[in-house]
Amino acid sequence: MDEGQLNYQNMLLHIKRRTKLPKPIEREKGVSLWSIIKDNVGKDLTRVCLPVYFNEPLSSLQKCFEDLEYSYLLDQAYEHGKKGNGLMRILNVAAFAVSGYSSCDGRLCKPFNPLLGETYEADYPEKGVRFFAEKVSHHPMLIACHCEGRGWKFWGDSNLRSKFRGQSIQLDPLGVLTLEFDDGEIFHWSKVTTTIYNLILGKVYCNHHGTMNILGNRQYSCKLKFKEQSLLDRNPHQVLGFVEDINGSKVATLVGKWDDSMYFSFGDEILKTKSSVSTDNANLLWKRNKPPTDPTRYNLTSFAITLNELTSELKEKLPPTDSRLRPDQRYLENGEYEKANAEKLRLEKRQRMSRKLQENGWKPRWFQRDSEDATFCYTGGYWEAREQQKWDDCMDIFGEYSMN
């Protein structure tokens, strides 16, 4: 190792991220969703503005980065492929595609809906990744993201179509995700349907169901089935799948749960064990990290807890559009609910003008798409601008309001 590498290693050892959210300043209170709903009978429920108390202190942009908690699976996938093992590559990619769902477990609060032009950066050299996202459209609500890792790039946009069904809401992600390895191998897939149950009565929870097709441009592709929820299910959250080679023969099977772990075995042995699916002879691909000891009412994972941290060092570098600078979200994180609510109302008023902005030709600052139905792609330049603190063309989206 030369001196430069040593310094770099040293820097990684000194990255300290927080392990807890700040202690709430005001006391937490209980509010029932029902009390809100009964005041809004007859209105389109997806448009009802909920008080900040139903939010978690993260924006949807930050939530996108939560899908990269297990990015090491993609590093491994890259290494396997480099050594000529395309099968292990796609198995790791499949485990990655499932792993993103694990953070949903026990999460009952809404993320903040970012303002038009709001951005979020995440520079995690200790994981070897750098992530960037921007809210690129308000109607329809669209978020674009781009992430670079060790030997791969990952990008996509999230376009959720939501259907309200009385007791539940069904969310269908329409966007396509792309993963490109530095050696040219590319995978595409879309996320499955998420349903949120018990909006009116009982305990809110969500489930993910449907088929995910991971299509590669070389030897392999993979099909994963997220099981539909059924009453009295002894084995909920199950994911089953297989890898197919170019001739259509099944060369590996996958089994696991989106909130826990994924296993694989070569051939199609797993599915042959009739009644229940066993992982006895299977190999572990991915296991979820342990939850933090003090989960708080938001149930954030240890990784999610780090996402909204704002150190004084970072504050100097961020553009004025970063989610970490959003005042209502910061107040909520600090447990100042009254102030958070007041700020949320102010920003939502601004948000309502976004439609006009877009109609008048507003364009995202960091992403672009070729046509109406193409994926938004990063145009580059964010990290370079950050280097020079060149933020003069970034809008002051959160207003003159200053936080300390």
Name the residues that contact ligand CLR, by CB under 6 A: 33, 54, 104, 107-110, 160, 171, 173, 191, 194, 196, 204, 206
367 with 379: CB under 8 angstroms?
A: yes
Task: Please state, in angstroms and rounded to a whole number, the distance separating the CA atoms of residues 90 and 243.
Answer: 8
Which positions ≥6 away from 85 have C-beta within 8 Å?
Answer: none
Q: Would you give the DSSP letter of residue 115?
A: P
- What six digits make up the tokens of 239? 């994911």
- What six digits make up the tokens of 31? 């509010």
| Closer CB to ligand CLR, 76 or 194, in the complex | 194
Report the nearest approach of ligand CLR to the CB of residue 404 (Å): 30
Closest CA to 241 of 219, 263, 225: 225
| Closer CB to ligand CLR, 191 or 257, in the complex | 191
Encoded amino acid at 281, one letter: N
Q: Which sign, positive or negative, has the C-alpha torsion 60, 189, 207, 270?
A: negative
Report the nearest approach of ligand CLR to the CB of residue 92 (Å): 20
| Closer CB to ligand CLR, 86 or 173, in the complex | 173
Task: Please state, in angstroms and rounded to a whole number, the distance separating the CA atoms of residues 188 and 181.
Answer: 12
Report the nearest approach of ligand CLR to the CB of residue 111 (Å): 6
| Closer CB to ligand CLR, 179 or 270, in the complex | 179
- The DSSP bridge partners found for residue 252 are 243, 266
Report the nearest approach of ligand CLR to the CB of residue 107 (Å): 5
Which positions ≥6 away from 125 have C-beta within 8 Å?
Answer: 11, 12, 15
Phi/psi for 248 (5° steps) reads 85, 10
- 283-287/367-368 β-pairing: unpaired
Rounded to 5°, the CA angle 285-172-108 comes to: 75
Report the nearest approach of ligand CLR to the CB of residue 79 (Å): 27
Report the nearest approach of ligand CLR to the CB of residue 56 (Å): 8
Report the nearest approach of ligand CLR to the CB of residue 340 (Å): 15
| Closer CB to ligand CLR, 81 or 175, in the complex | 175
- Spell 376-402 as b/e; 16+ CB within 10 A means b: bbbeeebeebbeeeebeebbebbeeee
| Closer CB to ligand CLR, 31 or 186, in the complex | 31
- What six digits make up the tokens of 359? 């109609």
| Closer CB to ligand CLR, 40 or 217, in the complex | 40
Report the nearest approach of ligand CLR to the CB of residue 120 (Å): 15
Task: Please state, in angstroms and rounded to a whole number, the distance separating the CA atoms of residues 366 and 103.
Answer: 27
Tell me how far CA of residue 267 lies from CA of 163, 244, 270, in angstroms. 39, 10, 8
| Closer CB to ligand CLR, 36 or 385, in the complex | 36
Report the nearest approach of ligand CLR to the CB of residue 171 (Å): 6
